[in-house]
Chains A and B, each alone.
Chain A
């Protein structure tokens, strides 16, 4: 299992009553899909808020960033960067044009 760090936007942090990052155990391969599966298993109230219930497609105003790259349009089954899989870097789930908060790592 890999310990994955996920950064949630403020609205969803409030919903799950978590700090800015949550930690998830994810079985390899570490992909957007496997991380979201683990995230929704740990926090069922997030189902439907990041990806559509039925199609599992990313909601239009949600973006996925990691390691200074935009992964939003990658296949959800593409392996995430090794730095994410190792827990060195978080997967950022971001509300598009969602404010000016500075994120420090």
Chain B
């Protein structure tokens, strides 16, 4: 019988939530690494019991944990992320040069073909790869060396590489996104990179249509259609049908097009989900109503999904890595909030129930479908 495993990273530890395919009775395990910030956890699609977790605090820095039994036990692996060569400077918030300094790992992405290979997106922005299950990390420095690096600036949360997407049909193609530099693509396995931000418009930079400098919040890709990307930018929901070469806005009738997360239905590549947030200064839902918006047409036309979600006095946020989907026949949609709730819809978003209500503030949610 199918099972789902939900990996939840929070500001005070990691939690592993499991249920059978009905998804109505949940076991809650954790906290693992209590008191530490768990920015992200990810399982290997090759070996679902191989998990990686990013564990950090401002006091004691970064650790990487690895599990080989689906999260029951963990072992720390290498935590040294050394930039390749002299890292140089990027722009600080005020435009002055600022030294590149490693702070934390925001996102881990397991290889689609090898459980020992995993990518790490870090702050200050860079992409690292391990080919030995996290025992050592090497920077793919062609990204920082693309030439625009000295002009990258941090977003409000830091200059983080937060999105890594591996193309299932082209093993040489990788997409990444950085706040606030924008989106980049490699077609040679991460050796060289090009910015893919044409069509983005950001009013917070001197040239709103500049090649780099855009605060991309998250990107999603459906594995059946890897040339089509959906993006939640700081403001604006965007779509690309040419692997990022150009973007078109599809915000349509959303109540606000600010937000952090975006994801795609497992079986319907044109069905996408966002959680609109009021503004970049007010990080909570408009009208104090927590609403997931779904478009079945790849954008433009959106419907509010509210059944089971709080529709008054709600002031939580849903962060960029805090939404995920399962691949059961009736696709499950999951998201976590800064208020500590993790919600699940077992029917593509029509109805929602909280799996758990009172976790620490949720940083990330990843779902594994286990068969």
> Which residues from chain A sit less than 8 Å from chain B, CB to CB?
9-12, 14-15, 45, 47-50, 53-54, 59, 61-62, 95-96, 98
Contacts and interface: CB of A to CB of B under 8 A. Distances in A.
Contacts of A96: 59
Interface string B67-104: 00000000010011010000000000000000000000
Contacts of B76: 15, 45
B35 A98 contact: no
Interface of B: 33-36, 57-63, 76, 79-80, 82
B34 A14 contact: yes
Given A14-B33, A48-B61, 12 more contacts: A11-B35, A11-B59, A14-B35, A15-B76, A47-B79, A47-B80, A48-B62, A49-B79, A61-B59, A61-B60, A62-B59, A98-B59
B80 A95 contact: no
Contacts of B33: 14
B82 A54 contact: yes
Contacts of A10: 35
B60 A59 contact: yes
Contact of B79 (A9, A14, A48, A95): A48
A59 B59 contact: yes
Given A48-B79, A48-B80, A53-B80, A95 B59 contact: yes
Nearest to A43: B76
B59 A9 contact: yes
**Main SS of the interface on chain A?**
loop
Nearest to B56: A49
Nearest to B58: A61
A50 B33 CA distance: 17
A95 B63 contact: no
Contact of A15 (B58, B63, B80, B82): B63
Contacts of A11: 35-36, 57, 59-60
13 contacts: A11-B35, A11-B36, A14-B33, A14-B34, A15-B63, A45-B63, A47-B80, A48-B62, A48-B80, A49-B60, A54-B82, A59-B59, A61-B59
Contacts of A50: 60
Contacts of A47: 79-80
A96 to B, nearest CB: 7
A47 B63 CA distance: 9
A32 to B, nearest CB: 16
A60 B60 CA distance: 9
Nearest to A59: B61
6 closest pairs, A vs B, by CB?
Answer: A45-B76, A49-B60, A95-B59, A61-B59, A53-B80, A48-B79
Contacts of A12: 60
Among B36, B61, B80, residue most surrounded by chain A Cβ atoms (within 10 Å): B61
A53 B78 CA distance: 11
Contacts of A15: 63, 76
A13 B88 CA distance: 35
Nearest to A46: B60
A53 B60 contact: no
Nearest to B55: A15
Contacts of A62: 59-60
Contacts of B82: 53-54
Contacts of A59: 59-61
Contacts of B59: 9, 11, 59, 61-62, 95-96, 98
Contact of B63 (A9, A49, A61, A98): A49
Nearest to A50: B60
Nearest to A96: B59
Nearest to B83: A54
Contacts of A49: 60-61, 63, 79
Contacts of B35: 10-11, 14
